Structure 1
Amino acid sequence: MNKQASISRFLRALTIAVLSLYGNGLPTVAQVATPAWSSPASTIVTSEEKEFQNGNVHLCGTLYLPGGPKPVPCVIVFHSASSATQDLPLYQHLKELLPALGYAVFIYDRRGSGKSAGKRAGADFNTLADDGLAALRMLAADKRINARKIGFWGLSQGGWLSVLAASRSRQVAFAISISAPLTAPDVQMNFAVGNILRVKGFRDEDIGAAIRTRIAVDDFMRGKGDRLAVERMLADAVKKPWFKYCYISPMLDDPVHSQWAKEIALDPIATLERVSCPVLILFGANDPWVPVKISTALLGKMADKKANLTYAVIAGANHEMATNVAAGQELNPSNATAFAPDSPSYFGLLAKWLSMPGQRPTLH
């Protein structure tokens, strides 16, 4: 059978299935009565609550386990910055798609959210990555899970954490990063703020002033620049109509205690270079939050040296791999947890990659 034709048929079939699930938007809450002629589903998924510890922090999540022979591989889910609990729409597709591929899925509430204890404030990326690794160790002890085939999926900040966790432990079998830029967090936010201001109709000179203010603050967080000069710049910026859209505090934090100073220390390229397990990186072509062109250019330079790396850009998809969201809606912070993937191409490429573990398939 022609391989490309086989893949095309697979993607068409998966597209039909996805559209039947999501054709009218997000799945409805109302339960539909089972008709008398209904046949048993091929994939039966059971769920159970699981608890684990990272140090003295108690964390809670849910394991979704497909029926059939055991043990099975497992995907552990890292959260995006805004989607901290397991019940949000972003994660529904993983609960439905991955068990059908023979994968268990474990989604937990981020520390300080939902049923999980601890505090998000003060926890750096390494701590959050180690929360996921604690989940991996807990699941590796479950005889129903293949301890040699446990990996991570994460979107946005969760994508960074997925790769970071893989760089910190040889136990990680694979890492999937969705919509996580290969730039530092401050560069990503400068890109996003520029797009927010453009969508809101601000002039280029206003956008430039906003970005210069952000860069001055970020440089100070890295130990550069004069505090008084940056404070004067901030005091002037606060008076501008664009300031409230810039994601910066009107008061200059102490870099020693700043959460942001810890986050912008992340170097995604250096982290990725330390990872030896298979890595899948996907971007949405229409993502207004992430500098996709810059990220793919950086990945292109690494691809020849990193045989474990696969990446692709999904046509028409945004930050959440949705295809039907206007930029104004996408960039509105009140909608931060509202969207879920609906791109058939995303579903297809994710399924294709997971069906060929340890390989580096060409994604089209």
Structure 2
Amino acid sequence: MIRTSPTAPARFAVGACLCALMVILGSLQPAAATQKKPSALPWSAPATTHVVAEDRRFTRGDAELSGTLYMPSSPEPVAAVVVTHSASSPLRTSSLYDHLETILPAIGMAVFIYDRRGSGQSGEEDAGGDFTLLSDDAIAAVQSLKADPRIDPKRIGTWGLSQGGWISPLAASRSRDIAFVVAVSAPVVTADVQMMFSSTNHLRANDYSQADIDQMVAARKAVDDYMRGTASREAAQKRVDVAKTKPWFKYLYIGETVPDRAVSGWRKEIANDPLKNLEAVTVPALVIYGADDAVVPVARSVERLEIVASQMPDMQFHVIAGADHAMQMTADLKTTLDPKHDGTERPDSPEYFAILSSWLAAHGLVGD
């Protein structure tokens, strides 16, 4: 694990952040604002943190996207975080993001979580695997928040987990409006390498044989080779036709029909090298991994980060013992790797919460 110490002026803020954390652990036009309801218990005391949740919309090109801003009360403009999405958690209501709307306002930061395009109240047309389009949506959200006088326009950043951990750095590399980046469980390998690692571990965790794993690898490789233009669609389809009869096919996250590479979103995804996007980030960046992540090749990702670390003095990265892909420590492995539970993740690693809060404090992003 790589740790850094905050500068002296930031230590008080870090302490305040962690105290708040311990309590926790025990054009945008407002459409609707609701104060979080106080406890109905007769012995309850007034809460210190007051948060207003506002439903808001913003546009990017012809698309209108909808989200919710969680805004802490403050006499001064506050820093804000725009959330970019995990592939399996496209909605603002996903449990994956609950900790952000709880922790960040408690330490004096706003957080904006929107429905990814093509999901929820953000229209019906998705990005089709176009990471640049998704990153531009995040940039549009940041630019919209800059118009809110309660938010400091120079302290708006992004947070993303998994696929969102790809989108956040890409957005920061494309816009000077983004002041910082937090990338959680972000593979620093291409999507095909990451999915081969993930599918292999899915089969291993469910006690499939090496013969099954070899067959799965052959199917994935055939599809990827076709997408790169080095093999035929027919050869890929033959491999998929055999694989789709197997009980483990659900762990591949590919369709039963190989799409035309000319229109395939997967072809676009595997052409993206996230390390190049990260290298282009010049603002402070925090990259966090779980040591027990079965979805992302953490060891390989850290190796690639270490290669560029000397050229990126504003980047810090940590590997958290006992945490999985979603920063969970208590979740059962087979449950987390079962596709029917996708989108139900809920981070619970105290070390993750502490690192996130202290890093934000050390960079002057929390309230007084």
TM-score for both structures, normalised by structure 1? 0.89
User: Could you tell me the percent identity over the aligned residues?
Assistant: 44
Assess if the C-alpha contact under 8 Å between 1:18 and 1:342 holds in 2. no
Q: Does residue 74 of structure 2 align to residue 68 of structure 1?
A: yes
* Structure 1 position 268, deviation (Å): 0.5
SS at match of 2:362: coil
* Structure 1 position 252, deviation (Å): 2.1
Of residues 21, 41, 48, the one that matches 1:34 is 41
CA distance in 1, matches of 2:12, 2:157: 27
Q: Counterpart of 1:24? A: none
Question: What value does the CA root-mean-square deviation take over the aligned residues?
Answer: 2.5
Q: Counterpart of 2:102? A: 96
Note closer, same or farther for the CA distance 1:172–1:121 as it changes in structure 2 (3 Å cut): closer
Letter in 2 for 1:166: A
Larger mean Cα displacement after TM superposition, 297-306 or 174-183: 297-306
Q: Does residue 268 of structure 2 align to residue 262 of structure 1?
A: yes
* Structure 1 position 137, deviation (Å): 0.9
Q: Counterpart of 1:352? A: 358
Note closer, same or farther for the CA distance 1:193–1:117 as it changes in structure 2 (3 Å cut): same
Q: Does residue 241 of structure 2 align to residue 246 of structure 1?
A: no
Assess if the C-alpha contact under 8 Å between 1:278 and 1:358 holds in 2. no
Q: Counterpart of 1:187? A: 193
Assess if the C-alpha contact under 8 Å between 1:156 and 1:179 holds in 2. yes
Q: Does residue 206 of structure 2 align to residue 200 of structure 1?
A: yes
1:288-324 per-residue CA deviation (whole Å, 9 max, x = no partner) reads 1111111111111111111011100111111111110
- Pairs within 5 Å for 1:330-345: 330-345=336-351
Note closer, same or farther for the CA distance 1:10–1:314 as it changes in structure 2 (3 Å cut): farther
SS at match of 1:355: helix
Assess if the C-alpha contact under 8 Å between 2:18 and 2:357 holds in 1. no
Q: Counterpart of 1:144? A: 150
* Structure 1 position 18, deviation (Å): 4.2
Q: Counterpart of 2:231? A: 225
Assess if the C-alpha contact under 8 Å between 1:57 and 1:118 holds in 2. no
Q: Does residue 308 of structure 2 align to residue 302 of structure 1?
A: yes
SS at match of 1:295: helix
* Structure 1 position 7, deviation (Å): 10
* Structure 1 position 214, deviation (Å): 0.5
Q: Counterpart of 2:296? A: 290
Of residues 118, 126, 130, the one that matches 2:132 is 126
Show structure 1 runs of 5+ residues with no match. Answer: 21-29, 360-364
TM-score for both structures, normalised by structure 2? 0.88
Letter in 1 for 2:209: R
CA distance in 2, matches of 1:67, 1:34: 23
Letter in 1 for 2:48: S
CA distance in 1, matches of 2:159, 2:18: 24
Of residues 111, 114, 132, the one that matches 1:108 is 114
1:109-152 per-residue CA deviation (whole Å, 9 max, x = no partner) reads 11121221241153511111111111111111111111111100
Assess if the C-alpha contact under 8 Å between 1:320 and 1:341 holds in 2. yes
Show structure 2 runs of 5+ residues with no match. Answer: 1-6, 27-36
